[in-house]
Amino acid sequence: MYLTTEKKAGLFAQHGKSATDTGSAEGQIALFTFRINHLTEHLKQNKKDHSTRRSLIKLVGKRRSLLDYLIKKDIARYRSIIKELNLRK
């Protein structure tokens, strides 16, 4: 599997407040970004996999919603997560 428990804990430790803080917006955005990158690579090889394409679009929407939430709540946190993950916007 591409996303192990250790990898997930590492993402939350690096971008969240701690490895066990799985609910923070930054941790969730980092997790969604990792999954989006994985699905994007999968779709480059499997162009006709429409169910994966739909899942990718849903993940992008969830990440966008969390980023919009961060803009409203704390613009500094938003700017830092955008810079850390190299997201466009």
What CATH number is given to the structural domain containing 41? 1.10.287.10
Q: Alpha-carbon distance 16 to 53, whole Å?
A: 28
Number of H helices, E strands in the chain: 4, 0
pLDDT at 88: 83
Domain carrying residue 33: 5-85
pLDDT given at position 2: 84
pLDDT tens digits, residue range 3-54? Answer: 899 999 999 999 988 888 888 999 999 999 999 999 999 999 999 999 999 9
pTM of the predicted model, to two decimals? 0.92
pLDDT score recorded for residue 67? 96
**pLDDT (average), residues 65-85:** 95
Count: domains in the chain: 1
pLDDT tens digit string along 24-35? 999 999 999 999
